[in-house]
Amino acid sequence: MLNIPLWNRIVIWGLVALGLAFAMPNLFYPRVERHNDAAAAIEAGLSSEEAEADLAAWPSFLPSTLVNLGLDLRGGAHLLAQVNVEDVYVARLDALWPSVRDALRDERETVGTIRRQDSAPGELRVRISQPDGMTSALEAVRTLSRPVSNLTGVGASTLDVRADGDEVVVTLSEAERTATDDRTMRQSVEIVRRRVDEVGTREPTIQRQGQDRILIQVPGIGSAEELKRLIGTTARLTFHPVTGRGGSGLQPESREIVLPDIEDDSLYYRLEQTPVLSGEDLSDAQPAFNQNGQPTVNFTLTTSGSRAFCEYSQNNVGAPFAIVLDEEVLSAPTIREAICGGSGQISGNFTVETSTELAVLLRAGALPAEMTFLEERTVGPELGADSIAAGETAAVVAGIAVLLFMGLSYGLFGLFANVALIVNVVLIFGLLSLIGATLTLPGIAGIVLTIGMAVDANVLIFERIREELKTAKGPSRAIELGYEKARSAIYDANITTFITAVILYMMGSGPVRGFAITLGLGIVTSVFTALFVTRLLIVMWFERRRPKTIEV
């Protein structure tokens, strides 16, 4: 007969109650959100009266789980960036040059004089004057190669060294490139995260995607442009000795570079390629003002950076040096005396905003490589709010219409299905909150669709019960058979839909993924409510009334 053991009933009601508890905070969205923000702030040690008040606005014994709102609902910016990982190969080989030089100098007897040649990016070419000594030159350079430090490149070494005429050509090995790419990506993601965190927005998403991409989603930021300025700037700060200045016709000599002045379009500087100091030597940067009241950025050097700069400035009093930011010369002051204090000031044509921005960027560190943006989306907060409002209205109207329709079609059993339908929506929200999933506009559509489709399992059962009643087996038997026989159709129908939801989730991104989540969760909850909740309701009603006949 229609027996459901007590423990079963407790589990069913318990799950429903849990779903209700986790879904409920969403009704008080702004208040709970402030509560959560305040809790996070206080945890981070930023307690304030305001935060305390916000914290107290929501009782701490209640769950405070919320559904994350996607960018299309909350407004914000989305960027897909590609990291130009090859940039790093160039820097790596440049850094390698002094060691190669030293190694070859030690072999001067056999290889003769050496000279670095200009070469394609990602290659280091050194010409030796005695090609007969090539073998020992190659050997000497190969000693610089190290085993690659990752799991996949077992046995591989970092450098490929080969001879090309009288030139030694050094490139990074395949395994080392892979390892370098991976490191570059991890660094880039970390630095992007630091920069975004510096401006302190809520719950940004920063994810590595595929080989060389980073997905960045920041809710609440004004526009993708703003975000791009923040994370798209490489912010590579370097200090170079100046060897000359002139107009646009200025030609670099070997191992030199020519860079433009940031303000004066007609002014160019010739600089030594190897910097004296770089951004890694900074320990802090803060926006400040100089004695004329102009915005500047004050920086502090690390101990090693401070020592290096002290030594350089002692030896080069009277010579100019250039402060370079991302391939542009900010300023080129002359060293008046040895600078050993470990701190300094960058002046340029700053406004208060740009000096603050630069300080943020310098603190967070330079990106190891440049980024290209493949995709960007901005959604204004008003549009998001409109979408939520429209989605809410549609969901409520859809819900009421379906409830009415079910009531009219199945009478009392329709009411049971309606209770299950409401429980179903509550459970979806509870689950969404619990797993911290993101609700998007297509996600809302998924919920509305679920409202329509959730009744399907119940309809299958009710129609089956109707049929079984025709063969007059008595109501309790008919109900039991109805459930039993409808089960295989319910499973098959829902598993197939679930398969498509899973594929959508795997292949989709952003809003589409949000849709897949609500669709998938909706399938799980609607099967649960139809097979357990509605059934329990019917059984409880049946036990009380013991009707001789039922009408479905």
Partner 1 sequence: MRLKLVPTETAWDFFRFTKVAIFGSSLAMIASILLFFVVGLNFGIDFRGGTTIRTEAHSEVDVAAYRGALQGLDLGDITITEVFDPSFEADQHVAMINVQAQEGQEAVTPETIAAIEAELQQVDPSITFPSVESVGPTVSGELVRTAIIAVALAITAVLIYIWLRFEWQFSLGAVAALVHDVTLTIGIFSLLQIRFDLAIIAALLTIVGYSLNDTVVVFDRVRENLRKYKKRPLGEVLNLSINETLSRTVMTSVTTLIALISLFVLGGDVIRGFVFAMIWGVIVGTYSSVFVASVVLLRLGVTRDWSKSDNGAGPGPGGGTQFSNVDA
Structure token digits, residue 96:
């390698």
Site for partner 1, residues 60 to 89, rule: CB under 8 A: 72, 80, 82
Report in angstroms how near the CB of residue 290 gets to partner 1 at its nearest. 30
- Write the binding mask 528 to 547 for partner 1: x where contact by CB under 8 A, - elsewhere: --------------------
Angle, nearest 10°, between helix axes 510-528 and 381-434? 40
Sign, CA dihedral 501-503-504-506, equals positive
> Which 410-439 residues touch partner 1, going by CB under 8 A?
410-411
Window 498-517: residues binding partner 1 (CB under 8 A):
499-501, 503-504, 507-509, 511-512, 515-516
Name which of residues 339 to 378 contact partner 1 (CB under 8 A).
372-378
d(CA 87, CA 95): 13
Site for partner 1 in 100-119 (CB under 8 A): none
Closest CB 328 distance from partner 1, rounded Å:
17
- Could you tell me which stretch among 25-33, 156-164, 282-290, 396-404 binds partner 1 (CB under 8 A)? 396-404
Handedness of CA 480, 534, 435, 224 (dihedral sign): positive
Residues 197-226 that bind partner 1 (CB under 8 A): 223-225
Choices 48-56, 99-107, 108-116, 488-496; region in contact with partner 1 by CB under 8 A:
488-496
Among 489, 540, 541, 542, binds partner 1 (CB under 8 A): 489
**Both structure tokens of 11:** 């589990």
Comparing CB distances to partner 1, the nearer of 186 and 229 is: 229
Nearer to partner 1, 344 or 391 (CB): 391
Residue (46 or 396) nearer to partner 1, CB? 396
* β-bridge mates for residue 530, sequence order: none
Q: Is 397 in the site for partner 1 (CB under 8 A)?
A: yes
CA dist 328 and 313 (Å) reads 22
Binding mask 26-65 for partner 1 (x = CB under 8 A): ----------------------------------------
Contact positions with partner 1 (CB under 8 A) in 439-468:
441-442, 444-445, 448-449, 451-453, 455-456, 459-460, 463, 466-467
Cβ 371 vs Cβ 356: under 8 Å? no
The CA-based angle 43-60-34, given to 5 degrees, is 60
CB of 180 to partner 1, least distance (A): 22
If the CB atoms of residues 292 and 488 are measured against partner 1, the closer one turns out to be: 488
Q: Which residues face 164 on adjacent strands?
A: 167
In angstroms, rounded to a whole number, what is the distance separating the alpha carbons of residues 189 and 308?
Answer: 30
**Binding footprint of partner 1, residue count (CB under 8 A):** 80
Least separation in angstroms between residue 429's CB and partner 1 is: 17
| Tokens read off for 372 | 């290209």
d(CA 284, CA 145): 34
546: alpha, beta or left, given left = phi > 0 and alpha = psi -120 to 50? Answer: left
Which structure tokens are listed for 156?
A: 């591989």
Taking the C-alpha atoms of 39, 45, 51 and 52 in order, what is their torsion angle to the nearest 10 degrees?
80
- Distance CA(43)–CA(10), nearest Å, equals 37
How crowded is the C-beta side of 37, counted as CA atoms within 13 Å?
Answer: 15
Stretch of residues binding partner 1 (CB under 8 A), selected from 135-143, 233-241, 250-258, 477-485: 477-485
Using rule CB under 8 A, residue 408 touches partner 1: yes
Residue 401 contacts by C-beta under 8 Å, 6 or more apart in sequence?
none
Among 64, 68, 306, 387, binds partner 1 (CB under 8 A): 387
Nearer to partner 1, 175 or 388 (CB): 388
